[in-house]
Amino acid sequence: MAGTAVRGRLTWQTATVSRITRETASAVTLRLEVPDWPGHRAGQHVDIRLTADDGYQAERAYSIASAPGEPLTITVERLDDGEVSPYLTEEAQPGDQLEVRGPIGGYFVWEAETGGPLLLAAGGSGVVPLRAILRERSRAGSSVPVRLLYSSRSWDDVIYSSELGFPAEGVEVIHTLTRSQPPVWHGYARRVDRQMLAEVAWPAADRPLAYVCGPTNFVESVAAGLVGLSYPAERVKTERFGATGQ
Amino acid sequence: MDDATLDGNAIGGLLASVFGTDMTMAVSTCGSCGAVSVVAELAVYRPGLGTVVRCRSCESVLMVFVALHGTTCTDLMGMASLS
């Protein structure tokens, strides 16, 4: 197929943290400098490996938050019982080094020639690769219509809230806040369900492509809901983050 | 399948290091029930000592990866084919 096919590095490389941006109380964006970074596609991820003083190693996958051509950044959400995220979100400092492998993935990726309309469904930190897709859409000058349905516990948990507050032409962002809402809130206030999908998702007749990312329960529920709305299964791409306590 | 189940995306790096190329778009055929799936959509479990990949249709084990002393041991006996 035409389009970039960036070959990932299969070996571990050393990355240096060059900038840290706090997104929410629990989420942090880290910019990583990797010598000879080959570039990446929107939707791909990297594996990060930390080695403790006693030699113990822990490895986790994190979605790339930046578009192709932008510096490599990842957004990490702190999990209370995490082995890697507490370090990355609370202790990492610019200048720290970590091992990175990637970019990884050829399934949950999008570039302008993939087309649309796009239905992006994010549960919590599942928004990260979808934000990379939105940035790539702008960078490539694509005009495919996009709806991002973004489920968060509360407004304080919304990552990239300012950026998503000013979406590009042709992009609609629909939030749902499942646990608590600001005093004056006219949006959805519950977990994504069939009714909400029926109201938000592009009709199947438009031949949309769906990308669904977030906790496993969220992904399973939304993917099933879209298939129930006659989306062909092969046009619903899924990326499960496991159980994140949401 | 429970809420901690991952999918083939999560082990893209492991698969690339074992097979030498991205495998998330590879097509797998279950040796037990014949179900066909892209690897990215298979059910993945990481109980700590290794990685188990199961068929979503019949839950049979398709692939097992265990890392021992820097070497990854791979068992693909549950797959009928992987292309």
What is the interface size between A and B, counted as CB pairs within 8 Å?
71
- Would you call A105 and B20 a contact, using CB atoms and an 8 Å cutoff? no
Q: How far apart are the C-alpha atoms of A136 and A110, rounded to whole Å? A: 8
pLDDT band at A141; cut points 50, 70, 90: very high
CB A101 within 8 A of CB A10: yes
What is the structure's pLDDT at A3? 44
pLDDT band at A2; cut points 50, 70, 90: very low
Is the preceding peptide bond at A117 cis, omega within 30 degrees of 0?
A: yes
User: Where is pLDDT greater, at B3 or A53?
Assistant: A53
- Would you call A47 and B13 a contact, using CB atoms and an 8 Å cutoff? yes
CB A135 within 8 A of CB A41: no
Residue type, B66: V
CB A187 within 8 A of CB A174: yes
Any domain includes B24: yes
Any domain includes B52: yes
What one-character-per-residue DSSP string does A31-58 give? Answer: EEE-TT-----BT-EEEEEEE-TTS-EE
Could you give the 3-state DSSP secondary structure of residue A234?
helix
Is the model's pLDDT at B9 over the cut of 50? yes
Any domain includes B21: yes
What is the structure's pLDDT at B1? 65
Strands A209-214 and B27-30: unpaired
CB A118 within 8 A of CB A110: yes
pLDDT band at A193; cut points 50, 70, 90: very high
Any domain includes B66: yes
pLDDT band at A6; cut points 50, 70, 90: low
Chain B residues close to A215, C-beta within 8 Å: 3
Is the model's pLDDT at B80 over the cut of 70? yes
The average pLDDT across B34-41 equals 97
User: Residue A131: CB partners within 8 Å, gap ≥ 6?
Assistant: A65, A75, A159, A160, A163, A164
Distances (CA, A) of A25 to A42, A80, A119, A233: 25, 12, 28, 36
Task: List residues of B whose CB lies inside 8 A of any A CB.
Answer: 1-10, 12-13, 16-17, 20, 22, 24-25, 38-41
Structural domain count, chain B? 1
Mean pLDDT of all residues belonging to chain A: 95
What are the sequence ranges of the domains in chain A?
Answer: 9-104, 112-240
The average pLDDT across B34-56 equals 94
Any domain includes B1: no
Phi and psi dihedrals of A21, rounded to 5?
-125, 125
Q: Which range marks the domain in which residue B32 is found?
A: 6-82
- Domain A112-240: which CATH class? alpha beta
What ipTM was assigned to the predicted interfaces of this complex? 0.93
CB A23 within 8 A of CB A86: no
Q: Does domain A9-104 have CATH number 2.40.30.10?
A: yes
- Would you call B25 and A107 a contact, using CB atoms and an 8 Å cutoff? yes
**Residue at token pair 């290794």:** B50
